[in-house]
Structures are given as C-alpha cells and as structure tokens.
C-alpha cells in the first residue's frame, strides 16, 4: 500500500471497518449464546507464539490485507468475556456501545495531558468524576480524575495520603523515616506494591487480621496501630478493601472511618471492584461509610461494563487531586502550582499522554443512563447469592464465606477425598483444558480454593448447576485420598 494515501485510505477503512463490526457482532452473538463455543481454548505459551507467527505470515501473504480475517483468527484464541461460562478474573464483558467509544477514542487519539489536547475528553472526564463523587456521597468540593487501572489509581491516592499525613515533605526531601499504612491481610497485592514503590519496604504495610468472612477485624486496629508506633513506624493511614479480591467481602468502612478520624489518619478505600455498589439501589449498603474516605479508587472495567482500563481516583478534598504531583514542566504548562488548573490533566495524573478513558464511561451513561449500572451490579450480586445458596446446600462443596458481591469462593470437598488442595488444583486444570467454564483459584489460610467472579448478566443459575456437575464429574476421576 502506498504511503501515506493508501495506508490512511478512508475507503479501505470503510470496508474493513464494516467487516470488523460484522465480525464483532457475530462474536457477541456466539459468545452470549454459550454453547457450542468454548469460553477459552487453552494452549501453552510456545504454541501461542507459533500461532502468532502463522497469523503474521497469512496476513503478509494475503494481498487483500484483510483485518477482519486476522481478527477472526485472534478471536479463536481470545478468552470470551461475553460467554456465560466466563467466571474468572474481575473484568466486565464490555457493552458494545462502549467498545464503539473505544474505537472512536482510539481514532481521535487525543493526548489529554493538556486541555488543548483533549478539550472534549477533559470536560467529559470531569463530568464523569463529579457524578461518581456525588454517588459516593462527597460534596461539590470533591475532585479527581481517571487513570489507567486500579493499581496505578491506588498508588496515586496513596502518594496523596503520604503528602497529606507524613512528617516532613517526602516529595521534596525523599524518604527519611519509617512510614506505613494499616491494611487487612486480604488487601490486593497492589497496595503492598505501592508501599514498596514509595520506598517503605516490607514494613510499609502493617497487616490487620481478618474475621471469619475475610474482612478486616477492626477490633485489632487500635492494638496494631499502637504496636507499629511503638516500633518507631509512623502510620499515616488505613486502606479499606471494598471489596477484597479473593472473597469479594467488604471491610467495615464506617468503623475504619471513625478510627481514622479519631487518630487523624488518611482513610483510603480500595474500591477498585466493589465501590461500584454505589450504583445499586439494592446493594449500596455494602459500601456504607464510603463517604468517610479521604480517597476512593473505583474501576469502571470491573463491574460497570466498560472496556479496560477505566479507573477513577476521587478525593474528598479537591486540594489532593490538584497538589499531589506538583512539579514544573515548562514545556507543558506555565505555572505548575496553580491549583485551579483542573483542565490540564497531566498535572494531576501519573500519565502524561492518556487515552480518552472517560468517553467509554460517558457513552454508557449518555446512551443507557445510570440505571444500567444499577441493573448490572444488582443482577451480578443477586446471581452470586444464588450460586452461594446452591453451594451452601451441597454436601460435597464448601463455601469460603457467603458472597457479599459477585465474587464466590468455594471448593469441591467430597467426604472421600483427603487432599482437597490437590483435588481442587487438578479440577481447575481440567476445567481449563475442557474450556466450557473459566474459573480461577486462590489460597486462603493456606488452603486452595476455587474462585469465580460472576461478570456476565447472561450467566444463569443453570450454568452454576452445570459447573458444579462438571466439577463433580472431573473430581470423581481423580483419587487423591
């Protein structure tokens, strides 16, 4: 193809685009209808690399350079989030309209770092963040931004916590003292990573034990806090998990909020997964006390049908959205410390260039209304409860704890089998190679558990029954007594 006319050809785009949309629509129909399609066609990484080479060879040899044909091959190896057997990690089957927003924003490629480079995107981002802040229960002085994933969002919020509460100005002078956050044993690993990135090492997180439902046991907060201080560690805040990753259960945000207020500590809520409960009329009580937080992180790509990555970082006090990364970058902006420049987003976010994340969320809100978030969260949490009920009454299954969100953690535990860890590992491996269900695995209290996230509103009770039967069938083939 002749550069640049043919590679940028609008006519070629029109034809290829139509074929790609047709392909996606077919994939959507196939996936939602479930069988006979598999949710995953597992292979090993070396074979996957060989296939990529083949796709590359086919595409380069094909005179038509058919993008849809290439994508059709890729679809064969992609995990299918719209399939009702998808019960794996916490990521949403995106709404088709939101996928179109991704396509459009990728075409626009507005850089978003400064206002001129994303006029619509910057204003849309503010709209999205302000409406989420209101939902959380913050007032108009709350502010924030969107960023690339919960991991980066948590680090960003915790950097603000450090600036707000740590002695001295670590941002300017570097780390001079032992600093730490209190966090439950079940917090996502990215909180630990954040503490290490901030230079606090292993001691940067002080773990609070959990209760039987794997939520923070706040009766240990005071003693854990005092013990850390006695060791010479400056505790600057507490991170609440709403919800935790492994079991999907919610820390007592009201209790943690009160504790933080009492000790003048920063209260951060990692709501990457479950802060989306604010949208559900039925389940918003899961996050009672969220408004007490100084900062909240929420992923739109986990429960809210938005293509990844789409994360909000919201601060109760707008000052922290503005001041966190105060730095000079003369080639981008004139006065880096001018607090009111909310519209030059690179002053506030880790990213410099950033995609138009907000467009995906805004498109869903504008086209389907906020009620679609309510409908999805409510349906998924309800489904998880139904699955929990099935597991609870089955003699040969054990629930880690009754689901509070759309995450269900359980294991196959027939009486005659002793090594349940090995059995459940083998069951998952076999499920993966059959490919009709995709579930994951976790370790709780040194035991192996199967873990599911009900991500798809098309997953019904009959699918849970089929999954349990499939597990029984596989389990019976393994004798690990």
Contact residues toward ligand PLP (CB under 6 A) are 90, 149-151, 154, 188, 190, 241, 245, 270, 272-273, 299, 309, 311
CA distance 412 to 416: 11
- The closest residue (CB) to ligand PLP is 150
> Which helix H or strand E contains 408, and what residues bound it?
strand 407-412
Given the complex with ligand PLP, which of 90 and 284 has the nearer CB atom? 90
Given the complex with ligand PLP, which of 311 and 363 has the nearer CB atom? 311
Most distant CA pair in the chain, distance: 72
Name beta bridge partners: 240: 269
Given the complex with ligand PLP, which of 300 and 373 has the nearer CB atom? 300
Given the complex with ligand PLP, which of 3 and 189 has the nearer CB atom? 189
As measured in angstroms, the least distance from the Cβ of 166 to ligand PLP is 22
As measured in angstroms, the least distance from the Cβ of 173 to ligand PLP is 29
As measured in angstroms, the least distance from the Cβ of 47 to ligand PLP is 27
What angle separates helix 357-368 from helix 96-108, to the nearest 10 degrees? Answer: 140
As measured in angstroms, the least distance from the Cβ of 28 to ligand PLP is 24
Given the complex with ligand PLP, which of 190 and 361 has the nearer CB atom? 190
As measured in angstroms, the least distance from the Cβ of 24 to ligand PLP is 23
Bond before 135 cis per omega within 30 degrees: no
Q: Are 285 and 279 in contact (CB under 8 A)?
A: no
Q: Are 106 and 356 in contact (CB under 8 A)?
A: no
As measured in angstroms, the least distance from the Cβ of 20 to ligand PLP is 26
As measured in angstroms, the least distance from the Cβ of 251 to ligand PLP is 11
The position carrying tokens 């046991």 is 217
Please give the structure tokens belonging to residue 386.
């139904």
As measured in angstroms, the least distance from the Cβ of 188 to ligand PLP is 4
Given the complex with ligand PLP, which of 9 and 148 has the nearer CB atom? 148
Given the complex with ligand PLP, which of 306 and 376 has the nearer CB atom? 306
CA distance 96 to 317: 35
Query: Residue 351 to residues 14, 152, 209, 406: CA-CA distances in angstroms?
Result: 32, 9, 35, 31
CA distance 55 to 61: 10
Query: Residue 199 to residues 162, 181, 321, 349, 469: CA-CA distances in angstroms?
Result: 11, 13, 22, 20, 48
Residue 369 in 3-state DSSP? Answer: coil
Given the complex with ligand PLP, which of 161 and 170 has the nearer CB atom? 161
As measured in angstroms, the least distance from the Cβ of 272 to ligand PLP is 3
Phi then psi dihedrals of residue 393, to 5 deg: -90, -10
Pairing status of strand 266-270 against strand 311-315: unpaired
Given the complex with ligand PLP, which of 40 and 91 has the nearer CB atom? 91
148, burial (CB in 10 Å: exposed 0-12, middle 13-18, buried 19+): middle
Given the complex with ligand PLP, which of 241 and 378 has the nearer CB atom? 241
Query: Residue 132 to residues 156, 256, 333: CA-CA distances in angstroms?
Result: 18, 21, 28
3-state per-residue secondary structure call for 253-306 = HHHHHHHHHHHCCEEEEECCCHHHHHHCCCCHHHHCCHHHCCEEEEEHHHHCCC
As measured in angstroms, the least distance from the Cβ of 343 to ligand PLP is 25
As measured in angstroms, the least distance from the Cβ of 245 to ligand PLP is 4
Given the complex with ligand PLP, which of 83 and 451 has the nearer CB atom? 451
């Amino acid at each position: 193809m002749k550069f640049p006319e043919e590679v940028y050809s609008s006519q070629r785009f029109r034809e290829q685009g139509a074929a790609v949309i047709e392909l996606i629509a077919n994939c959507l129909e196939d996936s939602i209808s479930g069988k006979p399609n598999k949710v995953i066609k597992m292979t090993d990484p070396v074979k996957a690399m060989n296939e990529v080479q083949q796709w590359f060879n086919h595409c380069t040899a094909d005179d038509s350079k058919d993008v849809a044909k290439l994508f059709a091959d890729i679809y064969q190896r992609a995990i299918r989030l719209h399939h009702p057997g998808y019960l794996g990690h916490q990521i949403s089957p995106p709404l088709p309209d939101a996928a179109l927003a991704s396509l459009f924003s990728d075409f626009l490629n507005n850089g978003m770092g400064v206002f001129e480079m994303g006029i619509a995107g910057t204003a849309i981002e503010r709209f999205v963040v302000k409406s989420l802040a209101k939902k959380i229960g913050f007032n108009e002085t709350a502010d924030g931004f969107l960023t690339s994933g919960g991991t980066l969002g948590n680090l960003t919020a915790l950097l603000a916590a450090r600036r707000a509460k740590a002695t001295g100005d670590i941002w300017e002078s570097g780390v001079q003292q032992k600093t730490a956050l209190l966090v439950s044993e079940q917090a996502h690993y990215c909180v630990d990573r954040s503490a290490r990135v901030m230079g606090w090492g292993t001691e940067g997180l002080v773990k609070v034990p959990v209760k039987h439902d794997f939520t923070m046991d706040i009766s240990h907060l005071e003693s854990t806090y005092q013990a850390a201080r006695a060791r010479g560690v400056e505790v600057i805040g507490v991170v609440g998990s709403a919800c935790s990753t492994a079991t999907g259960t919610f820390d007592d945000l009201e209790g943690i909020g009160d504790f933080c207020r009492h000790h003048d500590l920063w209260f951060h809520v990692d709501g990457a997964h479950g802060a989306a409960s604010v949208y559900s009329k039925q389940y918003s009580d899961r996050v009672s006390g969220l408004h007490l937080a100084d900062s909240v992180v929420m992923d739109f790509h986990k429960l809210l049908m938005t293509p990844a990555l789409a994360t909000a970082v919201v601060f109760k006090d707008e000052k922290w959205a503005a001041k966190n990364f105060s730095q000079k970058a003369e080639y981008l902006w004139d006065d880096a410390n001018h607090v009111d420049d909310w519209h030059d987003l690179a002053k506030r976010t880790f990213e410099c260039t950033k995609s138009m994340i907000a467009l995906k969320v805004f498109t869903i809100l504008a086209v389907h209304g906020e009620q679609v978030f309510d409908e999805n969260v409510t349906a998924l949490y309800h489904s998880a409860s139904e699955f929990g009920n099935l597991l609870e009454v089955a003699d040969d299954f054990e629930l880690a704890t009754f689901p509070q969100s759309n995450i269900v953690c359980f294991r196959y535990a027939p009486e005659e089998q002793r090594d349940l860890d090995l059995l459940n590992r083998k069951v998952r491996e076999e499920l993966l190679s059959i490919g009709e269900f995709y579930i994951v695995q976790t370790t709780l209290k040194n035991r192996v558990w199967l873990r599911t996230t009900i991500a798809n509103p098309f997953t019904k009770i009959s699918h849970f029954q089929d999954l349990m039967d499939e597990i029984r069938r596989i389990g019976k083939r393994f004798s690990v007594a």
